[in-house]
Chains A and B, each alone.
Chain A
């Protein structure tokens, strides 16, 4: 057993309001530089939708991730032989137009244009060529289902649905969507690391953050292809790939990453989990229930044996303590309500999602709601169609079967097609609601509440804990960041007495090109 700790995350999709604050926080800190304008290390997508870069989930186009090859796995579009063979021109590299051409506006035209009959306008100009452009797309062009015929209908996950189911999803009165915020998953079996010919990408042993050494990266651009989540980006100006660094300078100082700290919906949780690194290759190549296999790798931080083995392996006591308090461990392992995104890519992503309940659970039915309309203030604009958007908890599990979002769609995102697994999670989330409603409003029969809880193998206490961590959790409950022991790390990096009188250490060269 080789026990390591991994900084892992949970995003609770029910709580995401799609405000993009996370993306902006990240952009302001890390990517508002030349060559990185088009990069969104954190982006928020509307689902159903094609995402950013367009159709990133379709590995028929981008050839990202691992594929099963007999008993083992190999990279789909990169690797030792494919990578070195295609080094002069990578046929699967997404290009700028798959993302969007970054632009700004010529604001000075507004004040410096000569007097004329028309109002001056600020024309958009490309941030690459400096020439005027017609803006054709942006990083969230399909936000809130805008342009659905062109975008949402192209969602690669719809392939698992029958044409009828697909049509049903896009009927105006049935339309539903939710947001999917994405960052690098800091995978346990990262495809980006494996694909890098220079060996510039590595996983930090201490906390599992995946980083790209900017001095070693030589623009062979294989990681961009290999990452199935398209979370490694090529900086066209410096000729280096860049990716989410999980704000490691902040983490080391005990702060939450900027996207998580700023999250308005408070949907984000971060904590460490212990796992057995010896199992990584075996699990990545395993058959059957990929989600369960991945969860099996994650170890119980309360188990005496595990604690002993972790200590023997150099995991700090403070890290073990953090693993015991980890909100992520609770969501993922204890409660089993968070799932990895696209486990079939086999990178063992360590960012988990609590699937959204609302768009799924609300059922719509045709009802005559005349009585209700009559009660409305006559000047209020009342709803005169016959559709009722129903989030009631009348039917216990009936509504899971009449959902607006086909379970197949959710399963294609989170469980490699296993509908039962998503349903199980949705039921648990529903049970928490029913339990809380019974407790606070009191209009639900206690027999029903008990049945719901026992159906989902949950105790009332667990339901209360889930409720607490979902709705009331404070900053320190949501982010349990282990101390980085920088004092040791620093001494290990450089001999401090050698550094006396020196100008500093680390990256001393200006990160610019030429030649």
Chain B
């Protein structure tokens, strides 16, 4: 079985991360037109609410929880030191998981049953939503079956994830983990791998800059003060608009 573990927990992560990096950069530069999530709200606006809103809010919070456990495991452990706080964290995350699961179920249902939305659905959308659905299901299973995930993630899995980034993968812990957890981890890397090939690229372009830009935008071909001054060479600055 070592070869399988080596593949799933060493080879797959590196392939996934490499493809993710090169793929998203290539796609951003080469096919910028497609670098977004094709909204279908215009074609169907009511059912989307019941899917998209619960799914997104909970999946984003869950994502940041995973990120915190990975980057700041000590903080999570400190929080979990008191049983009550541990319980609060676990229960709220579990509820979020269920919300995301149900939300995604609505999204998949809507995508496959509304004929207008089907017209703009690609097979990649369905594959992605299928994988996300399995992944959230596995996540819920892990949370329910192997308590208390927030603590052992921080103490056991974070070192494994870190070892990957330190280019010195230590897979003993994951190799010994129960099958469900192993699948959850491997599928997570598959999702990372898929990012550049799916609509998931949209989470990389969250429009945060909107918060600090002025509301109005005016663009000039060129600095308008210099435009008609024959003394300014026009090759000094690269064009901004294109």
CA of A437 to CA of B22, assembled, Å: 76
Q: Does A379 contact B (CB under 8 A)?
A: no
Interface residues on A, range: 35 or more
A-B contact pairs, 15 of them (CB 8 A): A79-B215, A80-B211, A87-B207, A128-B43, A197-B207, A199-B207, A204-B219, A220-B39, A234-B39, A236-B40, A236-B42, A237-B120, A489-B222, A492-B234, A515-B197
Q: Does B56 contact A (CB under 8 A)?
A: yes
B221 close to A219 (CB less than 8 A): no
Closest B residue by C-beta to A204: B219
Closest A residue by C-beta to B242: A493
CA of A189 to CA of B218, assembled, Å: 11
A494 close to B34 (CB less than 8 A): no
Q: Does B49 contact A (CB under 8 A)?
A: yes
A205 close to B224 (CB less than 8 A): yes
A515 close to B41 (CB less than 8 A): no
Known: A80-B210, A88-B53, A515-B122. A234 touches B216 (CB 8 A): no
Q: Does A149 contact B (CB under 8 A)?
A: no
Q: Which of B120, B219, B234, B242 contacts A203 (CB 8 A)?
A: B219
Q: Which of A217, A280, A493 contacts B241 (CB 8 A)?
A: A493
Number of residues in B with C-beta < 8 Å to the partner? 57
Across the interface, which residues of B come within 8 angstroms of A280, CB to CB? 216
CA of A204 to CA of B48, assembled, Å: 35
CA of A280 to CA of B216, assembled, Å: 10
Q: Does A316 contact B (CB under 8 A)?
A: yes
Known: A219-B38, A493-B242. A206 touches B124 (CB 8 A): no
Stretch at the interface among A261-269, A387-395, A445-453, A506-514: A506-514
B43 close to A95 (CB less than 8 A): yes
CA of A215 to CA of B225, assembled, Å: 28
What 17 new A-B contacts, CB under 8 Å, besides A87-B207, A89-B41, A198-B207? A79-B215, A84-B211, A89-B52, A194-B215, A205-B218, A205-B224, A217-B36, A221-B41, A234-B42, A236-B120, A239-B39, A493-B221, A493-B242, A494-B239, A506-B242, A513-B120, A515-B34
Across the interface, which residues of B come within 8 angstroms of A131, CB to CB? 115
A128 close to B116 (CB less than 8 A): yes
* Interface hits, A135-157 → B, CB 8 Å: none
Across the interface, which residues of A come within 8 angstroms of B215, CB to CB? 79, 193-194
Across the interface, which residues of B come within 8 angstroms of A313, CB to CB? 224-225
Chain A proximity mask over B166-198: 1 for CB below 8 Å, otherwise 0:
000000000000000000000000000000011
Across the interface, which residues of A come within 8 angstroms of B63, CB to CB? none
Q: Which of A88, A234, A237, A506 contacts B52 (CB 8 A)?
A: A88
Across the interface, which residues of B come within 8 angstroms of A495, CB to CB? 235
Q: Does A202 contact B (CB under 8 A)?
A: yes
Q: Does B209 contact A (CB under 8 A)?
A: yes
Smallest beta-carbon distance A242→chain B, Å: 12
Q: Does B35 contact A (CB under 8 A)?
A: yes
Chain A proximity mask over B23-50: 1 for CB below 8 Å, otherwise 0:
0000000111111111111111100110
B41 close to A239 (CB less than 8 A): no
Q: Does B66 contact A (CB under 8 A)?
A: no
Across the interface, which residues of B come within 8 angstroms of A80, CB to CB? 210-211
Q: Which of B44, B122, B205 contacts A95 (CB 8 A)?
A: B44
Smallest beta-carbon distance B110→chain A, Å: 12
Across the interface, which residues of A come within 8 angstroms of B241, CB to CB? 493
CA of A199 to CA of B209, assembled, Å: 9
Q: Does A9 contact B (CB under 8 A)?
A: no
Chain A proximity mask over B214-242: 1 for CB below 8 Å, otherwise 0:
01111111101101100000110001011
Closest A residue by C-beta to B239: A493
CA of A494 to CA of B35, assembled, Å: 24
Chain B proximity mask over A220-239: 1 for CB below 8 Å, otherwise 0:
11001000000000101111
B32 close to A509 (CB less than 8 A): yes
Across the interface, which residues of B come within 8 angstroms of A470, CB to CB? none
Q: Does B213 contact A (CB under 8 A)?
A: yes
CA of A213 to CA of B57, assembled, Å: 29
Smallest beta-carbon distance A279→chain B, Å: 13
Closest B residue by C-beta to A131: B115
Query: Which among A129, A131, A214, A313 has the highest number of chain B CB atoms within 10 Å?
Result: A129
Q: Does B72 contact A (CB under 8 A)?
A: no
Query: Which among A206, A239, A240, A506 has the highest number of chain B CB atoms within 10 Å?
Result: A239
Q: Is the interface of B mostly helix, strand, loop or mixed?
A: loop
The 5 closest A-B pairs by CB, nearest first: A197-B207, A205-B220, A194-B215, A218-B36, A239-B38
Q: Does A327 contact B (CB under 8 A)?
A: no
Across the interface, which residues of A come within 8 angstroms of B32, CB to CB? 215, 509
Q: Does A253 contact B (CB under 8 A)?
A: no
Known: A202-B218, A221-B39, A515-B124. A84 touches B56 (CB 8 A): no
Query: Which among B49, B53, B242 has the highest number of chain A CB atoms within 10 Å?
Result: B242
Q: Which of B38, B57, B209, B225 contacts A314 (CB 8 A)?
A: B225
CA of A189 to CA of B34, assembled, Å: 29
Closest B residue by C-beta to A74: B215
A95 close to B217 (CB less than 8 A): no
Across the interface, which residues of A come within 8 angstroms of B205, CB to CB? 198, 218
CA of A495 to CA of B218, assembled, Å: 22
Closest B residue by C-beta to A66: B215
Q: Which of B52, B55, B210, B239 contacts A197 (CB 8 A)?
A: B210
Q: Does A249 contact B (CB under 8 A)?
A: no
Q: Does B21 contact A (CB under 8 A)?
A: no
Q: Does B11 contact A (CB under 8 A)?
A: no
Across the interface, which residues of A come within 8 angstroms of B45, CB to CB? 89, 93, 95
B43 close to A236 (CB less than 8 A): yes
A95 close to B41 (CB less than 8 A): yes
CA of A313 to CA of B219, assembled, Å: 15
Across the interface, which residues of A come within 8 angstroms of B202, CB to CB? 218
CA of A488 to CA of B234, assembled, Å: 10
A93 close to B41 (CB less than 8 A): yes
CA of A221 to CA of B39, assembled, Å: 8
Known: A131-B115, A493-B241. A90 touches B41 (CB 8 A): yes
A214 close to B33 (CB less than 8 A): yes
Q: Does A190 contact B (CB under 8 A)?
A: yes
* Interface hits, B121-177 → A, CB 8 Å: 122, 124
B42 close to A201 (CB less than 8 A): no
Across the interface, which residues of B come within 8 angstroms of A193, CB to CB? 215-217
CA of A237 to CA of B43, assembled, Å: 10
* Interface hits, A86-131 → B, CB 8 Å: 87-91, 93, 95-96, 128-131
CA of A245 to CA of B23, assembled, Å: 33
